[in-house]
Amino acid sequence: MDSTALALAVLLAAASAATPAWAARAQYDFNPGWKLTVGDPAGAHLPGFDDGAWKPVTLPRAWNEDDAYARDIVDHSTGIAWYRKRFTIEDRAPGQKVFIEFEGARQAAEVFVNGRRIGLHENGVTAFGFDIGAALVAGENVVAVRTDNRWDYREQATGQRYQWADRNFNANYGGLPKNVRLHVTESLYQTLPLLSNLGTTGVYVYARDFDIPGRSATVTAESEVHNGSHQVRSFTYEVEVRDKDGKAVARFAAAPQTVAAGATVTARAGAKVEGLHFWSWGYGYLYDVVTTLRVDGKALDSVVTRTGFRKTGFGDGMVRLNDRVLQMKGYAQRTSNEWPAVGLSVPPWLSDYSSGLAVESNANLIRWMHVAPWRQDVESLDRVGLIQAMPAGDSERDVGDRRWGQRVEAMRDAIVYFRNNPSILFYESGNKGVSAAHMAEMRALRDRYDPHGGRAAGSREMLGGALQEVAEYGGEMLYINKSARNPMWAMEYMRDEGARKFWDDFSPPFHKDGDGPLHKGQSAATYNRNGDSFALETVRRWHDYWRERPGTGKRVSSGGVNIIFSDSNTHHRGAENYRRSGEVDAMRIPKDAFFAHQVMWDGWVDVERPRAHIVGHWNYAPGTVKPVHVISSAEQVRLMLNGRDLGPARQSDRFTFTFDAVAFEAGELKAVGIDARGRQVCVAVLMTAGPPVALRLSAIPSPHGLRADGADLALVQVEAVDAAGRRNPVALDTVRFELAGPAEWRGGIAQGADNHVLARTLPLEGGVNRVLVRSKTDAGKIVLRARSDGLAPAEFALASTPVAVNGGLAALPAPPPLRLARGPTPPTPSFAPSRIAVPVAGSTAASNGERAALSVDDDETTSWANEPGVPAEITYRLARPALLRELVLKLTGWRERSYPLRVFVDGAEVYRGTTPKNLGYVTLPLAPRSGSEVRIALDGQADDAGAIRMLEVANQANADAGAQQVARSQLSIVEAEFYELP
């Protein structure tokens, strides 16, 4: 620390001792006390308009929330809806500024204050805000918002529709479904990060010069400061870093500076901070960074920025977090992230519950789809320690004209708004590849507005060498991509669907796996799976990504995300009118696929803790004989039925152990995982439950209880249990609910008419279901009763606590607690190298020899193929002699075509066989042979029978692996890799 910085630190310490760090800025929860009507009444913007008959609501609230899961997305209600609110700001001093901040609206929102039009926001995604101070009057004020969520809404200035207003993926929860805040500042203030409307960028906090083992980094804060007064102002910029418990761990300041009247400057201060807790996967450690403007020794304006510090790296085909390699494992989640009869407008604790479940499944990444998420979900992932990829706004293709401009503006605004959120590691420019020029434009946005955030700019695809020069990550949506340069992870690698209600072919309601209506005239079996089939397919799809993980060579896969985490009211193809691809259902009740991921993903790269999970249940009719599947990361699995060993398992896809014909016998079914040394390392147990005798109600706990604010929700689980209190896994009883007290019924979901949304009668599925109850604005005792014929009833009581609202304003609620269960980033390596890549010095071929090098160029958009009629073979000269054990190939048409091959090392045959169809890469075992020349030859005609079908892809061009462009007599190699073992 230099002498100037030391002097400033001393001054800061003295000032802090005399003056509290919290200063004159006031922030309010502006959600309470709104009124809502659907329609477009004349004069609704005027303060004297009679809104007495309008519906009282607390935001966030979509006006068409009842549609969530009751209707197909294409049938969501659309049109004009108005929101109005009366409010009073007491003791507002002359010259103070007042800003209203909306976290978003759908699609467009026109804002009026006391009858004056303040502004318009139209993109339906990003946050926006306005300076409303000039429109305010003493006493009561009225804000009115006219919203329009029509699918065909067009930008007023250009007449252009928004690409992402799409009926496939962007559920249309209209109006004001996100939070609203009010800010009151002095005339000299730190701006808000609302670029489109206010033209301001706010506060930017970042860390550099990381010493991960030493737990230190240089922390810098920058604030855009505006002087809204009519005189020159001088100020000192001070920074305090507070840990999760509110303790100050660092204080530093900048030299005093002056800003002219009406001008804007940037204040900046930084210092090395010791003893940091670095944000990590499953370790959502956050700091409050308080930036203060001090004038004449008085704290005039303070902003609290909640953020976390972490080091990232993107290179060698891998992602590094705090210097440890992390293979991406997670979910491509619809940004609506909705719940039945509520949509996306849930309280923060419920967002954390959902996000926390994803972490429990051992996911480390959420890729939001098509449009940027709202602030609440971004902050939720910060708290639970879950990485996220943030898109701007798009559909399924690159675009030009005004639509590209709309996307750039959405990305720009989202970067500015979210650049302090540590969980964002990826900025996604497109849900399909974009041009090099467009990618460069998006990367320039990152460089301008977030140059120090440690985030990669990229897009789906971006596989070619030229595109990898401008993009910093990429990856396809269905296939495995590998790279020795940019990380490549699959944007969507499994799109099958399966309802939680269906266990297997042997369980009530006896849904046969795959049964369901046709989809576009074709079989929809992959969209109507049973639970066991869905879980097993989850394992099969992940296996190829795991096989090409970091540590398996120079070119690796950086992982992928499965679509989706929770069943979604979007883009379905199965029997229901909503998508059932989730690892949990719409009420976040896990399916078996949830536990399959939990087993396979338990590690940063390699499995770090062995687990086992028995797929399904153990309640069958006498005489039932069925396969039992165990998902385990152990080397071997033994299955015990009431203490009897059922013999060895048949292993497939590394993690699946199948016992083919097990006769049901009531009692205990136990799977024991065994490591390579024969030691027991994990156990899973299923017990037969008795017939259900009673209902049981229990709440998923909220950390702050139920707030009587008119928006908070209680999530209550109902189960059918046996005499010992065990859930009966095949119970399908119908439950009738009664609700008493100051609460509103929002219900749950189940198969049936309108999916039982808002119904007071709800069937159990697999012995369990859940319902939502929303608080009202009066506090008190709430009682929920559940009854079902033949079962003892259940009753559950809770009390909502009052929330103070004064003049339409409330204090901001405390955020949910941080989730730190996984602990800090481990200092040990995340993988052990399992094979060593042998580089290629040169290659020759009997035809197209000038293209032979394209098969080893680390570019999956290029390939070599022989000319028809010319010998289909290619020879590689290794950079050194090696004892080769494996050959890895990406062959054109990999999904549709099998190639009969012969492989020779220095003239000796080391492999003869037919390659299996695959999702990108195939590994061929070689007979051990040391040499320096490898020849690969086609041994007959390639076979196109038995292709892996990708019916779940709406645009079949996305499933094209190139087989139609290459004759069966040609050998076509996209990439070839040569390996020896350690």
Would you call 355 helix, strand, or coil by DSSP? helix
Q: Is the pLDDT score of 641 beyond 80? A: yes
Which helix H or strand E contains 445, and what residues bound it? helix 436-449
pLDDT of amino acid 40: 98
Question: Do 892 and 860 meet the contact criterion of CB atoms below 8 Å apart?
Answer: no
Model pLDDT for residues 369-391, shown as the tens digit of each residue: 999 999 999 999 999 999 999 99
Question: Do 49 and 205 meet the contact criterion of CB atoms below 8 Å apart?
Answer: no
In the Cβ-directed half-sphere of 37, how many Cα atoms lie within 13 Å?
Answer: 15
d(CA 16, CA 253): 12
Q: Is the pLDDT score of 171 beyond 60? A: yes
Model pLDDT for residues 398-443, shown as the tens digit of each residue: 999 999 999 999 999 999 999 999 999 999 999 999 999 999 999 9
Q: Is the pLDDT score of 949 beyond 70? A: no
If pLDDT is split at 50, 70 and 90, which confidence band does 89 have? very high
| Closest by Cα among 119, 134, 82, 143 to 809 | 143
pLDDT of amino acid 7: 38
d(CA 964, CA 960): 9
Q: If phi over 0 gives left and psi between -120 and 50 gives alpha, with beta otherwise, what is residue 434? A: beta
- Least confident span in 7-21, 159-173, 422-436, 517-531: 7-21
Which helix H or strand E contains 99, and what residues bound it? strand 97-102
d(CA 352, CA 819): 9
Q: If phi over 0 gives left and psi between -120 and 50 gives alpha, with beta otherwise, what is residue 225? A: beta
pLDDT of amino acid 366: 98
If pLDDT is split at 50, 70 and 90, which confidence band does 961 have? confident
pLDDT of amino acid 107: 98
Which residues neighbour 850 within 8 Å (Cβ) at sequence distance 6 or greater?
Answer: none
Query: Would strands 34-38 and 636-641 be described as parallel, antiparallel, or unpaired?
Result: unpaired
pLDDT of amino acid 9: 43
pLDDT of amino acid 396: 87
Token readout for 737 is 């609910």
d(CA 554, CA 839): 9
pLDDT of amino acid 519: 87
Q: Is the pLDDT score of 56 beyond 70? A: yes
In sequence order, what E strands does 761-808 have?
761-763, 768-775, 780-788, 791-802
Q: Is the pLDDT score of 843 beyond 90? A: yes
Question: Do 62 and 177 meet the contact criterion of CB atoms below 8 Å apart?
Answer: yes
Model pLDDT for residues 686-719, shown as the tens digit of each residue: 999 999 999 999 999 999 999 999 999 999 999 9
| Percentage with pLDDT > 70 across the chain | 96
The dihedrals phi and psi of 442, each to the nearest 5 degrees, come to -70, -40
Token readout for 975 is 């990439």
Token readout for 639 is 């299955």
pLDDT of amino acid 296: 94
Mean of the pLDDT values across residues 968-981? Answer: 96
Q: What is the pTM of this model?
A: 0.96
Q: Is the pLDDT score of 208 beyond 70? A: yes
Q: Is the pLDDT score of 6 beyond 70? A: no
Mean of the pLDDT values across residues 512-516? Answer: 95
pLDDT of amino acid 195: 97
Q: Is the pLDDT score of 846 beyond 50? A: yes
Q: Is the pLDDT score of 327 beyond 50? A: yes
Token readout for 547 is 């096989």
If pLDDT is split at 50, 70 and 90, which confidence band does 139 have? very high
Q: Is the pLDDT score of 19 beyond 80? A: no
Mean pLDDT score across all residues of the chain: 95
**Cβ atoms within 10 Å of 763's Cβ, excluding its own:** 18
pLDDT of amino acid 571: 87
pLDDT of amino acid 895: 86
720 Cα distance to chain centroid: 32
The dihedrals phi and psi of 843, each to the nearest 5 degrees, come to -150, 150
d(CA 701, CA 748): 17
State which amino acid sits at residue 929: R
Which helix H or strand E contains 541, and what residues bound it? helix 531-547
pLDDT of amino acid 819: 98
d(CA 179, CA 379): 13
Q: Is the pLDDT score of 16 beyond 60? A: no
Q: Which residue has the tokens 């015990």?
A: 640
DSSP 702: P
Mean of the pLDDT values across residues 100-108? Answer: 98
User: For residues 351 and 962, which has the higher predicted lDDT (pLDDT)?
Assistant: 351
pLDDT of amino acid 950: 61
Max alpha carbon distance in the chain (Å)?
93
pLDDT of amino acid 101: 98
Model pLDDT for residues 348-373, shown as the tens digit of each residue: 999 999 999 999 999 999 999 999 99
Query: How many secondary structure helices (H) and strands (E) does the chain include?
Result: 9, 55
- Least confident span in 436-450, 511-525, 737-751: 511-525
pLDDT of amino acid 15: 36
d(CA 193, CA 354): 27
Question: Do 328 and 559 meet the contact criterion of CB atoms below 8 Å apart?
Answer: yes
Mean of the pLDDT values across residues 476-487? Answer: 95
State which amino acid sits at residue 962: G
> How many residues belong to the chain?
982
Question: Do 351 and 582 meet the contact criterion of CB atoms below 8 Å apart?
Answer: no
Model pLDDT for residues 563-586, shown as the tens digit of each residue: 999 999 998 989 999 999 999 999
pLDDT of amino acid 661: 95
State which amino acid sits at residue 676: A
Q: Is the pLDDT score of 219 beyond 50? A: yes
Which residues neighbour 915 within 8 Å (Cβ) at sequence distance 6 or greater?
Answer: 889, 891, 898, 899, 901, 922, 924
**Cβ atoms within 10 Å of 157's Cβ, excluding its own:** 9
How big is the chain by its Cα radius of gyration, in Å?
30
Q: Is the pLDDT score of 520 beyond 90? A: no
d(CA 480, CA 457): 20
Which residues neighbour 351 within 8 Å (Cβ) at sequence distance 6 or greater?
Answer: 337, 376, 377, 380
DSSP 853: G
Q: Is the pLDDT score of 5 beyond 90? A: no
Cα–Cα distance list, 208 to 130, 290, 308, 377, 627 (Å): 33, 18, 12, 26, 54
Token readout for 581 is 């691809």
Question: Do 371 and 377 meet the contact criterion of CB atoms below 8 Å apart?
Answer: no
